Homo-oligomer: A and B are copies of this chain.
Amino acid sequence: MSEPLIRLAEIHEHNREAGTFWVYRGDRVYDITDWVPNHPGGEVILRAVGGSIEPYWNIFTIHQNQDVYDILEQYFIGNIDPRDLVDGKAPAGLVDDPFKSDPERDSSLMVRSSRPCNAETPASELGTFITPAEKFYVRNHLWVPDVGDAEDHRLTIELIDGEEVTYSVADLRKNFREYNITATLQCSGNRRAHMTAGSRPTNGLQWQIGAISTATWTGVRLRDVLAHAGVDLNEPDEDIKHAQFVGAEAYGASISFDKAIDRHGDVMLVYAMNGQALPRDHGYPLRVLVPGHVAARSVKWLNKVILSGDESTSQWQKRDYKCFGPNVASHNVNWDDAPAIQETPVQSAITGVRQVKGDRLRDSDLARVYGLEEESVVLEGYAFAGGGREIIRVDVSPDNGKTWWQAQLLPHDKDVHDDNQKAWAWKQWRLALPTHALHEHFCVKAVDESYNSQPEQFDAFYNFRGNLANGWHRVPVSSRSKD
């Protein structure tokens, strides 16, 4: 029995206003109604229904693989009527480019993908404790939503009984105590390029050392807002296990409810960054800040918080941001075998290597610290651990790991953290080494307050998604620049 022929006009009727959703690819037509609730990317897929899926897949190129084609084929219902074909093809149609209102970006950012925008902070900007907002790395999963005026934006809190409480940004500013938290955000893919180079190919954006930045975030505590919305923080409903966050562009993720209401967890609803309104790339007018967790949980353009017994069902919670053993690959992974990445492991990187002449060094602070008078090399970098665990030591090797020196940890964070706050921000470090000690590679590894550290190599910690690549950062000693 042959499949029916379908007119384009009929396909157009099965659009987002309809109860059933059709798309076409080439001259083949699919009824994806049953797939929509299962789409890992959420309701974004409704942008395509009633027309061709291809322009969207040209944008979201993650779909251009056989697994996705196979899923689509399950929903095949017929071919396009040849009368609607031109040169044997259906018209692709005009796509409303979702990226057309993306903001301009600083030209020094190192672009890893432009649509969606993913761009890392250049190494030259990783040496300052607070990253200027325009130099802060950008990690967008979709487009930057145009939410209009902050005045019109609304945050809805959905309680466990389904009741909803809604706040404007002005409500948040007016009714709750304001806090400033200086915190580092790091993408789970930071240094993925090093895992690829040190072991095998990985799936994902090939970030170098700049998918990490630090800012001072201003906003209100999520726990205070939840209490106001009706949550009993002392004896909360035991059914609440997770706090899910939904962004205006359809991104979603969740954290544990314990973290969400932890008095020392500092989870915030943020409306300002480094003393200015949030830039659009960083979540204007409202985002979550989950300090100590992978940045993927700090949802931008926040419009909903859902208290739930379940994690977010998004692909970014259930799939992408997980790690597996080195023996697991995309063809044999069981995504449920690993928990979503929340707190991140110890990380560090070398951001600068400068050759310094003895006569310059002699009068410097480095000479006072290290007492070096000969020709030296000055290394600088960052170190960071998740969970608010403070970096207590940074070990640097001038000879590929044979001998080790302790770097000086710079005290910047003392200016922004009070005693009772966890270590939410990176530590910056520096070290002067005599030139005669250099051999092959500089290496750096950091140690946090629970005395966890970083793996020596990438092979044994390889994961096919290339997440949490925290093997020792190695830089050839030949790479030093003259001062």
Interface residues of A (CB under 8 A from B): 238, 241, 258, 264, 323-328, 337-339, 341-346, 386-387, 389, 392-393, 395, 397, 401, 403-406, 419-420, 445, 447, 449-453, 455-457, 459-461, 468
C-alpha spacing A258/B388, complex, angstroms: 14
In the complex the two chains form, is A451's CB within 8 Å of B323's CB? yes
Given contacts A339-B449, A460-B404, contact A325 B395 (CB under 8 A): yes
C-alpha spacing A445/B456, complex, angstroms: 13
Distance (whole angstroms) from the CB of A417 to the closest CB of chain B: 14
30 pairs, A vs B, C-beta closer than 8 Å: A241-B419, A258-B264, A258-B420, A324-B393, A325-B393, A325-B404, A325-B405, A326-B395, A326-B404, A327-B403, A327-B404, A327-B405, A339-B392, A342-B450, A343-B389, A343-B449, A343-B451, A345-B451, A345-B452, A345-B453, A346-B452, A386-B450, A387-B387, A395-B460, A397-B460, A401-B460, A404-B460, A445-B460, A451-B468, A456-B460
Oligomer copy total: 2
Distance (whole angstroms) from the CB of A290 to the closest CB of chain B: 14
Which residue of B is nearest A406, CB measured? B325
- Chain B residues positioned under 8 Å from A392 (CB to CB): 338-339
Distance (whole angstroms) from the CB of A214 to the closest CB of chain B: 19
Which residue of B is nearest A262, CB measured? B264
Distance (whole angstroms) from the CB of A344 to the closest CB of chain B: 7
Distance (whole angstroms) from the CB of A5 to the closest CB of chain B: 48
- With A258-B264, A401-B460, A452-B452 given, name 9 new contacts (CB 8 A): A323-B447, A324-B393, A325-B405, A325-B406, A328-B406, A339-B449, A345-B453, A346-B452, A404-B460
Distance (whole angstroms) from the CB of A295 to the closest CB of chain B: 15
C-alpha spacing A420/B237, complex, angstroms: 12
Which residue of B is nearest A258, CB measured? B264
In the complex the two chains form, is B455's CB within 8 Å of A453's CB? yes
- Chain B residues positioned under 8 Å from A337 (CB to CB): 406
C-alpha spacing A460/B447, complex, angstroms: 12
Distance (whole angstroms) from the CB of A336 to the closest CB of chain B: 12
- Chain B residues positioned under 8 Å from A346 (CB to CB): 452
Which residue of B is nearest A293, CB measured? B450
C-alpha spacing A397/B327, complex, angstroms: 10
In the complex the two chains form, is A450's CB within 8 Å of B344's CB? yes
